[in-house]
Structure 1
């Protein structure tokens, strides 16, 4: 008995209507991690570690006082306290080098090394100085000491290779004494906006034109993700102009904005075909952004085609471009969905996976009522994307939903 159903092998070769997960997997399969380079901490924010950072000494490298006060030996303090001889001082960066003996005390300040032999800090409010002697009461329960290696120990792996750096992780590397780090080279990403309807911001716009706004978001997005972005001069609806714009561009990834669908003026894929384009993804079963496509040119450069409408471009940049750029740097997949309580009801979803622009409130997450993909104002006000799976049932207030937080200032 014969069947007209496609085989699993045929299904694997399908390029149209891929799920978000399958489309992303096909893109990431083309991402080969770039070589490493050494960068100073000042140039490492947002980049990806190419090797682990290991502590070479304890932090702190000595037992340190957590308070201003007096370093003492707990055994010297009986039930009535004690009168001790003041024999020196320990300050941050300048310790007391001798061993503290019975009946002695040392003035100490926050962060200063505790003298050998001491095991207790009496805070200054609980002691009374009289010349070269100090009267203290019975020992309290807290030692007010930070132990040696209380933050990390020599040999500890502080940051794993593949970690995306941020200011707090850079601080940890600095605390370990590192002035430079081995990081993946920044992927070179060229952004090309296409369409006769586009006018440059700040210039004169014709009566039937709009200002090109996609690059204004995509370039800083790429920079935050560790890439080295370049904005190409916009190309009109002309195959030869599009080919000329990208033919000699030095980049690992070319991102096109607009011309991604199949209309008479959607000419980007035909233009890329002249450069040997082999498609891995032709369309994605996602809303917004169904026309998103991805492939590789004959010379190995990757091409991600984003729709022209801003919301479609930005949603698909989060879903596909960000993981691709980070994968080129050897980073793990960045998408960390979280859950939130829904603060407004939602109707049943259609056949496409829907990523709704939404905002977080004290009551929960609220999708914007108008999800039209041309609305820049909505994306500017959103702080997360709310995921609705294909065919999802209607959701009520209080239901749990998946959200993807956006990196907002």
Structure 2
């Protein structure tokens, strides 16, 4: 730690990568629990998952047709029974015999080939090949353990559990999955100019939109999110708000993290005995980011301008939640995207340009003011512009973060 918040020395802003590394090192250590697989969407596996069964457990047919011996083709073969999904044929296929078989049904003992029903004809309870025989003979048979074998690792630790991963876990024989407990997150927005959503708003006031925005971002992950505020610009009021949330693993504040006369987050943190981990990051928007600790509780102070709050929430709050939940790769990654319009030269800090991406080209929004919500709401990408970057013409390839429909992914 760099010392008490009150007495922290003024240091140069940290590079983004260093600030993210320091923050992730402070991620809350959440207990592991076992949760029903159907309730695990969005969680991350806390341990590797091994299959408790093989799939398929025995060879099964990939098509509708007839199971027989390849040595007996082209036939005719006498039909002696049926194997349906969930209802296997009880006997064994002997020379000169065939069994009617459905997709997904167990291939009977003795059979090593499946004839497609459209490639054969049936007469007098016998089946004969009239089209193309399967080549190789086992072409339409799914071998045992084709998907996975018992005791093999089917999902590594740190995997995010989406629909396909949950299905695989259940197919592997698991009902309860090892995940981290949901982090408890409190979002506090502060400022005398803010009024609660839906309240009357004077010309000198603003609806408090950062708190709902950050809460919505956090809620895209398994987290128990509480909103507090808006809180007035008063050390006592901010301290009181912080003191109502002793059980929160993460407290996220919005506004008041800079150095103005009404930026009171740092002195309020000093009042409650929090220790500063770091303050200020060399990015735009979002330079006055603050990270502190109070016991096991982590406090993330974000700027008050909406674009700054969003960008720092996306670059810091969400990776922190992913790390706490057990993600193997908590930081977002860029893709190369082609500029659909020229981009001006960069300034003294790394910048995150709100932009629209159409799957191939990315176009910066014309308005980049950190206080503007319209371009942020219309954007689905953030172009990364390095400090001092030269002007870039249309057609250049630039590193870009792609946002989801909810602005979060």
TM-score above 0.5: yes
Going from structure 1 to structure 2, the CA distance change for 1:89 and 1:397 (only over 3 Å counts) comes to: same
| 2:275 is aligned with 1:278 | yes
What is the deviation of 1:363?
Answer: 4.4
The residue aligned with 1:359 is 356
In the aligned structure 2, how far is the partner of 1:156 from the partner of 1:345?
A: 51
The residue aligned with 1:149 is 145
TM-score, structure 2 as length reference: 0.92
What is the deviation of 1:14?
Answer: 6.8
- Residues 149-228 of structure 1 aligned to structure 2 (within 5 Å): 149-228=145-224
Going from structure 1 to structure 2, the CA distance change for 1:395 and 1:305 (only over 3 Å counts) comes to: same
| 2:46 is aligned with 1:53 | no
8 Å contact from structure 2 (residues 28, 249) kept in 1: no
What is the deviation of 1:383?
Answer: 1.8
- Residues 179-328 of structure 1 aligned to structure 2 (within 5 Å): 179-249=175-245, 250-297=247-294, 299-328=295-324
| 2:115 is aligned with 1:122 | yes
8 Å contact from structure 1 (residues 95, 112) kept in 2: yes
Superimposed CA distance per residue, residues 188-209 of structure 1 (whole angstroms, 9 cap, x where no aligned partner): 1110010121122222222322
The residue aligned with 1:331 is 327
In the aligned structure 1, how far is the partner of 2:190 from the partner of 2:38?
A: 35
8 Å contact from structure 2 (residues 28, 298) kept in 1: no
8 Å contact from structure 1 (residues 16, 281) kept in 2: no
| 2:14 is aligned with 1:18 | yes
- Give the RMSD, CA atoms, in angstroms: 1.7
**What's the secondary structure of 1:294's corresponding residue?**
strand
In the aligned structure 1, how far is the partner of 2:174 from the partner of 2:10?
A: 48
Q: Would you identify which runs of 4 or more consecutive aligned residues in structure 1 move more than 3 Å?
A: 13-16
In the aligned structure 2, how far is the partner of 1:185 from the partner of 1:396?
A: 47
Residue in structure 1 matching 2:133, options 116, 139, 153: 139
Unaligned runs of 5+ in 2: 1-8
What is the deviation of 1:330?
Answer: 2.9
The residue aligned with 1:347 is 344
**What's the secondary structure of 1:151's corresponding residue?**
coil
Residue in structure 2 matching 1:83, options 47, 60, 76: 76
Q: What is the aligned length?
A: 393
Going from structure 1 to structure 2, the CA distance change for 1:136 and 1:18 (only over 3 Å counts) comes to: same
8 Å contact from structure 2 (residues 114, 134) kept in 1: no
8 Å contact from structure 2 (residues 28, 296) kept in 1: no
What is the deviation of 1:248?
Answer: 3.5
User: Which shifted more, 27-36 or 86-95?
Assistant: 27-36
In the aligned structure 2, how far is the partner of 1:344 from the partner of 1:53?
A: 46
In the aligned structure 2, how far is the partner of 1:148 from the partner of 1:133?
A: 28
In the aligned structure 2, how far is the partner of 1:202 from the partner of 1:225?
A: 26
The residue aligned with 1:402 is 399
User: Which shifted more, 381-390 or 311-320?
Assistant: 381-390
In the aligned structure 2, how far is the partner of 1:334 from the partner of 1:93?
A: 44
8 Å contact from structure 2 (residues 196, 229) kept in 1: no
**What's the secondary structure of 2:240's corresponding residue?**
helix
What is the deviation of 1:240?
Answer: 0.5
In the aligned structure 2, how far is the partner of 1:39 from the partner of 1:349?
A: 47
Going from structure 1 to structure 2, the CA distance change for 1:227 and 1:382 (only over 3 Å counts) comes to: same
In the aligned structure 1, how far is the partner of 2:160 from the partner of 2:351?
A: 28
What is the deviation of 1:362?
Answer: 4.9
The residue aligned with 1:370 is 367
Unaligned runs of 5+ in 1: 1-12
In the aligned structure 1, how far is the partner of 2:14 from the partner of 2:123?
A: 81
**What's the secondary structure of 1:82's corresponding residue?**
coil
What is the deviation of 1:85?
Answer: 0.5
What is the deviation of 1:32?
Answer: 4.3
Going from structure 1 to structure 2, the CA distance change for 1:202 and 1:235 (only over 3 Å counts) comes to: same
